Amino acid sequence: MPKIIIHEVGLRDGLQMEKQVVPTEQKLKWINGLMNAGVDIIQVGSFVHPEKVPQMADTDKLFAELTKNKTSKTILSGLVLNEKGLDRGEKCGVEMYCMGVSASETHSKKNTGMSIAEATERIIATALQAMAAGKRVQVSVQSAFGCGFEGPVPHERVLGIVQRYLDAGLKNISLADTAGHATPDQVEKLYEAIFKLDSSVEAACHFHNTYGMGLANVCAAMKVGVQNYESSIAGLGGCPFTKVAAGNVCTEDFVHALQRMGFRKEINLMKLIDLAKDFAVFFNREMPGLVYKTNPIIVG
């Protein structure tokens, strides 16, 4: 099995649903805590209009502060929707760009105001521009396993977008279960089909736990060789442009499961649990994650 890479998205996907705006200083504290715990990639924020997503208004400032005299090996990623976002990212030191296209026409229109075809053209052009600047790029297919508005999404449509990415030379590809509709058998079939298109794909996944299937789908992805996993500290998150929004696979729960299976023991699980507790205190409510409440099973 290839090394499992953990891409922490709590500071972006996790916070975008929160009405209580988090101060920049608090975000920096959490991000530094995640770095110290040993996660591989942290998605610092998204370059969106601050009036539409006020929680992301300080993304430029966060990157500028975090990349100044940076010594951590953790990669700092940012989500962009278009060329304007890329331009902002270039000015503040983004190390890895994430961008994607929805496989649902309804979700695409609600999320970006564009059709699937329009969004695909624009995202590929933006991704190639970022690659030309020497940056790491991950492209995604959102609503890859189903849509809260449209229901089932045909695998052929998802694979069509993936093929467009591959034709453009984009091989770091994530499938996002935006609506949380995925089942383990779907996950296996779709990733197997992608690996048949190109066995050198650097596959990633982003599962939501809307219907309690998050970790089961992660295990299915591991079974077929997916390497990169997007998760959220404390289980926070949800897309505000889908029908039923719910949190991501919980980072500390995922790491706990990995370590019980003998993987990624170098990640400091207790630091992640302490961070989850800090999130619960800050938002003054119980978080979706489990291990921070039950305490972990320690494996020697």
The C-alpha atoms of residue 22 and residue 15 are separated, in whole angstroms, by 8
| Known catalytic residue at 239 | yes
Which of 296, 283, 300 has its CA nearest to residue 18? 283
The residue annotated as part of the active site, out of 92, 98, 239, 250, is 239
Question: Residue 100 is inside which H or E element, if any?
Answer: strand 96-102
Q: What percentage of the chain's residues is helix, strand, coil (to nearest 5)?
A: 45, 20, 35
The C-alpha atoms of residue 169 and residue 158 are separated, in whole angstroms, by 17
Q: How much is the pLDDT for 128?
A: 97
Q: How much is the pLDDT for 117?
A: 93
Q: How much is the pLDDT for 300?
A: 64
Question: Do residues 216 and 177 touch, judged by C-beta distance below 8 A?
Answer: no
End-to-end CA distance of the chain: 21
Q: How much is the pLDDT for 243?
A: 45
Question: Do residues 227 and 5 touch, judged by C-beta distance below 8 A?
Answer: yes
Strand, helix or coil for residue 179: coil
Q: Is the pLDDT of residue 112 over 80?
A: no
Q: Choose the weakest-confidence range: 47-61, 158-172, 235-249, 277-291.
A: 235-249
Q: What is the rounded average pLDDT for all residues in the chain?
A: 93
Domain ranges for the chain: 5-294
Fold of the domain spanning 5-294:
TIM Barrel (3.20.20)
* Percent of the chain whose pLDDT exceeds 90: 82
The C-alpha atoms of residue 197 and residue 148 are separated, in whole angstroms, by 28
Q: Is the pLDDT of residue 99 over 90?
A: yes
Question: Do residues 255 and 217 touch, judged by C-beta distance below 8 A?
Answer: no
Q: How much is the pLDDT for 16?
A: 86
Which of 220, 212, 166, 165 has its CA nearest to residue 191? 220
Cα 41 to chain centroid distance, Å, stands at 10
pLDDT digits (tens, 9 = 90+) for 63-72: 999 999 899 9
Quick one: average pLDDT of 102-124? Answer: 88
pLDDT digits (tens, 9 = 90+) for 209-261: 989 999 999 999 999 999 999 999 999 975 554 444 567 899 999 999 999 99
Question: Do residues 176 and 142 touch, judged by C-beta distance below 8 A?
Answer: yes
Plot region of 129 (φ>0 → left; ψ -120 to 50 → alpha; else → beta): alpha
pLDDT digits (tens, 9 = 90+) for 2-16: 789 999 999 999 998
Q: How much is the pLDDT for 242?
A: 47
Q: How far is CA 148 from CA 97, 102, 160, 248, in A?
A: 26, 12, 21, 16
Quick one: average pLDDT of 80-86? Answer: 93
The C-alpha atoms of residue 205 and residue 187 are separated, in whole angstroms, by 9
pLDDT digits (tens, 9 = 90+) for 157-204: 999 999 999 999 999 999 999 989 999 999 999 999 999 999 999 999
Q: How much is the pLDDT for 239?
A: 52
Q: How much is the pLDDT for 2?
A: 74
